[in-house]
Structures are given as C-alpha cells and as structure tokens.
Chain A
Amino acid sequence: DIQMTQSPSSLSASVGDRVTITCQASQDISNYLNWYQQKPGKAPKLLIYDASNLETGVPSRFSGSGSGTGFTFTISSLQPEDIATYYCQQYDNLPPTFGQGTRLEIK
C-alpha cells in the first residue's frame, strides 16, 4: 500500500496567515491526489483534486501543487471558518490511502 505522510500533524495560525501543509507519498502517484477538509462531526469535503484543481464552489484561497511524491496544500489567508482537520489522499493505486491528518487551529 502507498503510505501518505502529512506534516505537520497540528498547526496553530492567526487569521490572515498563509498556511501550508505538505504530503509525501511513499511512491510516485503522478497527480492523483485529493485534499479534504473535515470539520468536527461532519463528512469530509473535497477541496482539491488532481493535486491542483479547485473543486467547484471552493474559495480560491485554497490551492494545491505538486506531483510525483511531494505535494503542498496552501491557504493563502486563513479565515476563522477554515478551522478543521485536513487530509491528503492518493488514488493512483488501490487501496486509496489517506494521510494521518493535519489539525488546524486559530492562534
């Protein structure tokens, strides 16, 4: 199985900050990578697919980049409603695998 390693596991930032999360795949996954946002008690919500494509309706302050084994997720200006846990997920090979998650808090 492909291992997805996210960092950091938790992050505290201020409103307006630029926030970056990284995800490393244990082997080349091309650009078959999703980024999800999950708020407490809610289902995951897709933000970015194919590593860099913004899902319809998602604010443009969210972005993703990378290919191969290294990927980055960025929030350009953190908003209070962005408090959540974020997961990367590869879909190059079965089984689909998720990173362990990054818990984002407001400082």
Chain B
Amino acid sequence: EVQLVESGGGLVQPGRSLRLSCTASGFTFRDYAISWVRQAPGKGLEWVGLIRNKAYGGTTEYAASVKGRFTISRDDSKSIAYLQLNSLQSEDTAVYYCTPGVVATMPHLDSWGQGTLVTVSS
C-alpha cells in the first residue's frame, strides 16, 4: 500500500524556520519526483515546489511565492523528502502535503499524505 506521512509542522514565529518531512512507503521512492502542495485555511490548493528523481538530476523547482525561502531535498536511502521553510511569513500558514502526483508520472502514481499544519504567528 502506498503511504506518505508528513511531519514537522507546528506553531512558529514570523521570520523563523521549520523543516517538514515526508516519509514514503509502498512504492519505489527513488523513481519519482516529489511535490509539496499547501492549502491555507479555507483556501484552495497551491503547488509549492518539487524535487525530481536522480535520473532527472534531482533538481528542484519552486513556486514564485516561496523561491529563495523554501528548499526541498530528498534522501532516497530513507525514502524521505524534506521541505525546509525559512523566513516564514503569516501567508505561509497552511496545511502542507507531499505527493508524487500533480506531475506526469511513469508508471502512473498519485497519492497524498494526511498533511501537516504550519501556523506562522507571533
């Protein structure tokens, strides 16, 4: 069974940092890009960024709203992806999901974790 579990969320002050983890199981993690998607309270879904698999260089892409502040990395030996959130702002308050979906996948795979809530507030 494919499973993704996000962790690391919590309450953080503006300007501080947080690192989220996405622990995957049930599929060949190293073969897939992993995206992070967030959802502010009562709002829609916003793609945050992705990290490609090693076959595609393991490179990263980010939404303009987080570029330069957020960093995605991965540890294929542990099947974990990370999202480092720096210089957090109140607008970053959201539930953060990880998923191999939202991009073309081969073979097809789309599964999401339960999400982890990040609250930025003083």
A and B bound?
Answer: yes
By a CB distance below 8 angstroms, the chain B residues around A101 are: 44-45
By a CB distance below 8 angstroms, the chain A residues around B50 are: 94
In the complex the two chains form, is B44's CB within 8 Å of A95's CB? no
Interface size of B as a range: 20 to 34
Q: Is B46 an interface position by the 8 A CB rule?
A: yes
In the complex the two chains form, is B110's CB within 8 Å of A96's CB? no
Interface of A is mostly: loop
Q: Is A44 an interface position by the 8 A CB rule?
A: yes
Interface of B is mostly: loop
Measured in the bound complex, the distance between the Cα atoms of B110 and A49 in whole Å is 9
The residues of A with any CB-CB pair to B shorter than 8 Å are 32, 34, 36, 38, 42-46, 49, 55, 87, 89, 91, 94-101
Interchain nearest-CB distance for A88 vs B (Å): 11
25 CB contacts below 8 A, A to B, read: A34-B102, A36-B45, A38-B45, A43-B113, A43-B114, A43-B115, A44-B37, A44-B97, A44-B112, A45-B112, A89-B45, A89-B102, A91-B103, A91-B104, A94-B61, A95-B47, A95-B63, A96-B35, A96-B47, A96-B102, A96-B103, A98-B46, A99-B44, A100-B44, A101-B44
In the complex the two chains form, is B114's CB within 8 Å of A44's CB? no
Across the two chains, which residue of chain A brings its CB closest to B46? A98
Interchain nearest-CB distance for B56 vs A (Å): 13
By a CB distance below 8 angstroms, the chain B residues around A34 are: 101-102, 110
Interchain nearest-CB distance for A41 vs B (Å): 9
By a CB distance below 8 angstroms, the chain B residues around A45 are: 112
Measured in the bound complex, the distance between the Cα atoms of B45 and A34 in whole Å is 13
In the complex the two chains form, is B44's CB within 8 Å of A87's CB? yes
